[in-house]
Chain A
Amino acid sequence: MSTEKKKMQRSAKRIKARNNAIVYIVLSILAVIWLFPVLWVILTSFRAEKGSYVSTFFPKSFTLDNYIKLFTDTSILNFPQMFLNTLLIAICSCVLSSFFLLSASYCLSRLRFKLRKPYMNMAMILGLFPGFMSMVAVYFILKAVGLTEGNNVRIALILCYSGGAALGFQITKGFFDTIPMALDEAALLDGCTRWQIFTKITLPLSKPIVIYTILTSFIGPWVDFIFAKVICRANADQYTVAIGLWRMLEKEYIDNWYTSFAAGAVLISIPIAILFLKLQKYYVNGMAGAVKG
């Protein structure tokens, strides 16, 4: 009897081990497939052979020249300038649009006013249209205000990226809704203003969603291509990284710039990667749900 039992246990263990092995093998294969392109870009960025086409997956020799070229060879494609432009635009629009978004969500969640429902419906419907549909109109409006020339292009882009932020309130509002009203009421009784409730009670309780908002509103302008292309036009000194990288792949540049293009791609992923790593635990919480009262 006991030997029988032991046998059963052993075979159960074996089955479990076998299943685990299969699962791990499948997952490893998938992980490799997913990481393949990333690895390839990183390898290419260190590749010493020139040109856009290679016959081997692993470079024959490695170098840092591609990175050095990005920052020293600035006469045709001024990467450092583009990087700074993008950073400035992304930080400004991140701050602005986070503020817009959080404020709008707070108002819709906590205040009751006549246009609340109509506003939410309108935002829902407007949100169904892709943003670049209005691109040409946005361009002409900015031009009329005089923001499409010289350094004003940066302001134009910041306005573009942050202007529509208040329409994407749905997730944040849902989060705020789960914070008990009783907290607000208690604060009101103690003499808090609405602004104080917002900054001293709601925001500290909603760290995950605040982080989530900051992340998404930073990444938007950081990787955007279409608006930047339409608004920058011939102002090369205002180019963002996305336009610069795209230009490196044009037929005149591709042979000389391809490996530097990969280096640029690696570099622009660094700020996003740092943001993600630092804020990851909040990010997961933010998506999972709200604080329980």
Chain B
Amino acid sequence: MRKKLSAALALLLAGATMMGLLTGCSSQESSGAEQVRLMVWSPSEDQSKDSGEWLQTCCERFAELHPEWDITFVYGVADEASAAGTVSQDPDASADVFMFANDTLTTLTDAGALAKFGGKYADQILATNSETLTDSLTLDDYLYGVPFTTNTWFMYYDKSVFSEEDVKSLDTMLEKGVVSFPFTNSWYLPAFYFGNGCTLFGDGTQEELGADFGGENAVEVTNYLIDLYNNPNFVVDADGSGIAGLRDGSINAMFTGSWDAASIKEILGDNMGVAALPTYTLNGEEKQMYAYAGSKAIGVNSHSKYMVQAIELAIYLGSAEAQQLHYELRNVIPCNTELLADPAIASDLVVAAQNDTFDNTSVLQPFVASMSNCWTPVENLGKGIRSGTVTHENAAEQTVAMNDAMNSNGIS
């Protein structure tokens, strides 16, 4: 028994070691070109064969464009949302070029892991992207990434139930069909508050101003939300119930982002309608809902050994050419202004809705540090309405309590 065990152990360990050694030996061609080793991280879809190996294709094209460098690419998997955490854990051993969501910008800059773009590179980025978009990547007047897509949510609806006129107002929609909204998700719920003049950190960057979700206007919204929840044609979308409802036909409209587009297309087929956010009627007035908007960008590690090459690669991965390929292979919605003018892309419903939302019915999601205090209180208010603990009688009190919690870090 013992002999067998130790033999098996030795074998397994030896196997693991050998595998480790083998990958260490990559072939090195000697030529006049400068040897460069670039580590690139992206979501796994960008590297999968089934969706066309966007990252590998782009990196190879980049290498062809630059014969002066002999580049070895090392690929790793980190999606935009979690890349910041992984990179800031140890910037020194992280990718030279990676993708991140702009709400994680401060995590990365606090870790000193993001390189600034300046000079001709900054000019190039500013020239091909909208100002709102570059603002989402600017901190203290420095630009920290090459945007490649916008990130927000909008409305999907069943065309056989609602007309294009109906979807402009939430209240009209509620009369004609069943609408589902992620009521207990604080990425979505503030849309109603922004509609009635509530603000977060002034224009989103003035941390000292704090959250303004406690005034009379906010109380009106809370009261509206209580009525909305009690509307028989309104369903809370939680844990995927929205898309399930769309599938079995019990729901006719829902709010989500481009990541669900393929699933919804499969369910609704030609009846799939996509639109920017509707208005809602508060005390007889039409109020526009505003979604949080952000961006996803390509960042360069400030610890990179090959800074020039890394920055050039980031610029290339965010270029019109790469965005076009990204759109064709994976339906990643482009943000390059020249590309958006292309009629083939502009006619795509999801692209149109996302950009319409981004340009007209969204607020830039603040990325100041205090923003992290704002998520839970809003979620709790949504849950409170759902469970019936927030009522018309205590709406004012509960709204003020939510605002207090949003302006406090829970410690001091």
Contacts and interface: CB of A to CB of B under 8 A. Distances in A.
Interface of A: 49-55, 75-77, 88, 91-92, 95-96, 136, 139-140, 143, 148-152, 154-155, 158, 199, 230, 233-236, 250-252, 254-256, 258
Given A143-B93, A158-B16, A76 B79 contact: no
Interface string B53-88: 000000000000000000000001111010000100
A50 B247 contact: yes
Contacts of A151: 16, 19-20, 22-23
A230 B89 contact: yes
A75 B9 contact: no
A92 B79 contact: no
B11 to A, nearest CB: 10
A76 B48 CA distance: 6
Q: Which 5 A-B pairs have the closest CB atoms?
A: A234-B76, A52-B240, A236-B77, A75-B48, A53-B240
A75 B243 contact: no
B142 to A, nearest CB: 26
Contacts of A55: 241, 244, 248
Contacts of B241: 53, 55
B50 A154 contact: no
Please indicate which of the listed interface residues B41, B44, B76, B247 has the most CB atoms of chain A within 10 Å of its own CB: B44
B240 A255 contact: yes
B95 A254 contact: no
Interface of B: 2, 5, 8-9, 12-13, 16-17, 19-20, 22-24, 41, 43-45, 48-51, 76-79, 81, 86, 89-90, 93-95, 239-244, 247-248, 259-260, 263
For the residues of B in contact with A, the DSSP-based class is helix
A255 B260 contact: yes
A95 B5 contact: yes
A51 B76 contact: no
Given A92-B16, A234-B95, A76 B44 contact: yes
A233 B48 CA distance: 18
Contact of A199 (B2, B44, B94): B2
A233 B50 contact: no
Given A50-B247, A251-B259, A236 B5 contact: no
B51 A75 contact: yes
Please indicate which of the listed interface residues A96, A148, A154, A199 has the most CB atoms of chain B within 10 Å of its own CB: A154
Given A139-B89, A148-B93, 17 more contacts: A50-B247, A50-B263, A75-B49, A77-B44, A91-B12, A95-B5, A152-B20, A154-B20, A158-B13, A233-B78, A233-B86, A233-B89, A234-B78, A236-B44, A251-B259, A252-B43, A252-B259
B384 to A, nearest CB: 22
Contacts of B23: 150-151
A51 B44 CA distance: 21
Contact of A155 (B17, B243, B260): B17
Contact of B76 (A49, A52, A233): A233
Contacts of A95: 5, 8-9, 12
Nearest to B23: A150
A254 to B, nearest CB: 7
B244 A53 contact: yes
Contacts of A53: 239-244
Please indicate which of the listed interface residues B5, B41, B90 has the most CB atoms of chain A within 10 Å of its own CB: B90
A139 B244 contact: no
A143 B90 CA distance: 10
Contacts of A234: 41, 76-78, 86, 94-95
